[in-house]
Structure 1
Amino acid sequence: MMATSGGIVILTEMLSSLPPSERKIASYIINNPEEALTLTAVELGNRSSTSGAAVIRLCKSLNLKGFQDLKLRIAGDLHKTEEVGLRDIEPNEPLLSVIKKMTNNSVQTIRETAELLNVEQLQKVVEKVKNAKSLHFIGVGASSIIAQDAQQKFLRINKNAYAFTDLHMAATQVANTTKKDVVLGISFSGETVEVAKILQLAKKNNATTISLTKYGKSLVTEEADLKLYTSATREPTFRSGATSSRIAQLHVIDILFMSVASLQYDDTVEHLNATREAVEFLSKKGKRSNRN
């Protein structure tokens, strides 16, 4: 199944990393999306002072199947209702305004992330995760929180899942993986060296490696057999807070978890009930034992 929107998002997020000729084409499409839909690759190349071959190279750089795939996505974008856009907070922002902005930012980031997910890649990831002997979620800083969330979710459905805040421990664990295991590296930028190196270790053992990053090529994606993407959120002043990017990563993990759970529905319900009862048992007041 091919995605039917997200073309403008992909072009915008990849713009700065594209070669000069491809950047010209991308800029032209962003500024003239309606016109671009009516053009052939050669015509678009002429309009952007490049070439038809450069248009084809652009589609390859965007990880798309071809020019028609890009045009289909752009056509989908043009049929969407207008979005407000991601907005940063201002000094002494009123609380109601902060609520509105943050809600809008989160909703838009989730929508953009959904548009960037490749269903074919996701299907392969779901199958690998479902059949894995063990799952290893690797993240640094804010991404480590996502790794821990993933671990908690999959533990609840009886999967051997691990997440480490200590990367030395993570490397030690991954060094013992096999082809039956899955290692998923999480990095918003995709340039977290430690995460890339741990995926590299996993590949040496023939474990399946998966990346979860913003859209585009990076150190982390280069080490991944399968790639999942989130929207490259624009958080200029408070980017270090990793607000929208965190929401996007959690959304992908939720999609992955629910997809796996759906394929083993009865077992999932059974395991969720068992874990819920175990947690409830801990919170109940037990009877004191009588001692003589």
Structure 2
Amino acid sequence: MASANDNLLTLIADAMPGLSKSEKKVASAILADPEAATRSSIAVLASIAQVSEPTVNRFCKKFNATGFPDFKLNLAHCLASGIRYVSQNVEARDSVETSTSKIFNSTISTLSLVRDKLPPDLIVQVVDQLIQARRIHFFGLGASSSVAKDAEHKFFRFNLPVSFHEDVLMQRMLAASAAPGDVFFIISYTGRTMELVEVAELAKANGAAVIGLTAPGSPLAKVCHLLIAVAVPEDTDEYMPMTSRIVHLVVLDALATGVTLRRGPKFQGHLKKIKDSLRATRFPSDEA
């Protein structure tokens, strides 16, 4: 049940997976343009969402409103607080210009929401675990494999044995040979990929620490020692994950920066040495 302190737009976005098909249409219409929704009549909103007026009323009551007028008041209050959420899924009828705008707006808004929900003490715990690791394995499949690869690129700089793997058989063999001190960092937008859950369980059974960057309440989330839960409303059935991938990359940036800061000023010389090694591979800059 929502409280007075809940962000209505966030509640709607979080509820999307459990809504009916018609309710999702109402939610999408509201999230696409919340300000317009506060000015609309129930008939106009129903027309935009292509649903019936009773459907809109039922939707409003799901969020502790007595009806559409009460829902609009709550929505206006949410917008007055300065909080925005722009959920604009790309649709087949969109032009390239429209889809580009939607992707940027959704990503910016989602990053702000994830930032506000991410517990700072959790980041500290994960950084501590990574610094103490004997070795770190980053696993991902599909779209998440590119995120795992980027993690390897970031973390190898910290004088830690780091590897990235997207081959399921290699993942299973590494998990089977895991030992205390190893960290398996598993990245999955849905958290429902069977192979990754099985690998996490195997690594955990062998005494390794398992960190998950995945959806809250997912099968993968339930087997992790430490969970960075990221809920991003995104339809992966029709289009590739977009916003979720960017959010995962930013979370990894925060972790890598945390490790750098924890290592202290003396560690900067090591990072500079790696950076300087690339100078010979680049053309001189034209900057003065």
TM-score (norm 1): 0.68
Distance 1:237 1:193, change over 3 A: closer
Task: For 1:101-112, list aligned pairs within 5 A.
Answer: 101-112=102-113
Cα distance in 1 for partners of 2:212, 2:242 equals: 20
Tell me the equivalent position of 2:40: none
Distance 1:128 1:150, change over 3 A: same
- Matched to 1:280, the amino acid is R
Distance 1:201 1:139, change over 3 A: same
Q: Say if 1:109 and 1:231, in contact at 8 Å, map to a contact too.
A: no
Sequence identity, in percent?
23
Equivalent in 76, 80, 83 of residue 81 of structure 1: 83
Aligned-residue Cα RMSD (Å) equals 3.2
Count of residues in correspondence between the two structures: 232
Q: Report deviation, 1:104.
A: 0.6
Does the residue aligned with 1:212 lie in a helix, a strand or coil?
strand
Tell me the equivalent position of 1:233: 233
- Matched to 2:197, the amino acid is A
Cα distance in 2 for partners of 1:9, 1:264 equals: 36
Q: Say if 1:185 and 1:196, in contact at 8 Å, map to a contact too.
A: no
Q: Say if 2:90 and 2:99, in contact at 8 Å, map to a contact too.
A: no
Q: Say if 2:85 and 2:110, in contact at 8 Å, map to a contact too.
A: no
Task: For 1:6-45, list aligned pairs within 5 A.
Answer: 9=10, 12-13=13-14, 16=17, 30-32=63-65
Distance 1:108 1:188, change over 3 A: same
TM-score (norm 2): 0.69
Does the residue aligned with 2:274 lie in a helix, a strand or coil?
helix
- Matched to 1:262, the amino acid is L
Does the residue aligned with 2:232 lie in a helix, a strand or coil?
coil
Q: Say if 1:164 and 1:170, in contact at 8 Å, map to a contact too.
A: yes
Q: Report deviation, 1:27.
A: 7.6
Cα distance in 1 for partners of 2:134, 2:173 equals: 17
Tell me the equivalent position of 2:272: 273
Deviation digits for residues 217-236 of structure 1 (CA, Å, limit 9, x no counterpart)? 12101110111022322347
Deviation digits for residues 169-205 of structure 1 (CA, Å, limit 9, x no counterpart)? 1222232222212111111111011111111111112
Cα distance in 2 for partners of 1:94, 1:166 equals: 34
Q: Report deviation, 1:107.
A: 0.5
Q: Say if 1:6 and 1:77, in contact at 8 Å, map to a contact too.
A: no
Distance 1:272 1:220, change over 3 A: same
Q: Say if 1:187 and 1:213, in contact at 8 Å, map to a contact too.
A: yes
Distance 1:84 1:13, change over 3 A: closer
Does the residue aligned with 1:135 lie in a helix, a strand or coil?
strand
Tell me the equivalent position of 1:156: 157
Cα distance in 2 for partners of 1:94, 1:77 equals: 28
Tell me the equivalent position of 2:27: none
Of stretches 228-237 and 186-195 in structure 1, the one that deviates more from structure 2 is 228-237
Gaps of 5+ in 1: 19-25, 37-74, 285-292
Does the residue aligned with 1:246 lie in a helix, a strand or coil?
helix
Higher relative CO (Cα under 8 Å, sequence separation at least 6) belongs to 1
Tell me the equivalent position of 2:95: 93
Does the residue aligned with 1:171 lie in a helix, a strand or coil?
helix
Deviation digits for residues 114-168 of structure 1 (CA, Å, limit 9, x no counterpart)? 2332223222111101211111111110111111000110012222111112121
Task: For 1:1-292, list aligned pairs within 5 A.
Answer: 9=10, 12-13=13-14, 16=17, 30-32=63-65, 79-91=81-93, 93-95=95-97, 97-214=98-215, 216-235=216-235, 238-239=238-239, 241-282=240-281
Distance 1:100 1:8, change over 3 A: closer
Does the residue aligned with 1:189 lie in a helix, a strand or coil?
coil
Distance 1:184 1:157, change over 3 A: same
Does the residue aligned with 1:156 lie in a helix, a strand or coil?
helix
Q: Say if 1:137 and 1:147, in contact at 8 Å, map to a contact too.
A: yes
Q: Say if 1:138 and 1:184, in contact at 8 Å, map to a contact too.
A: yes
Q: Say if 1:88 and 1:237, in contact at 8 Å, map to a contact too.
A: no
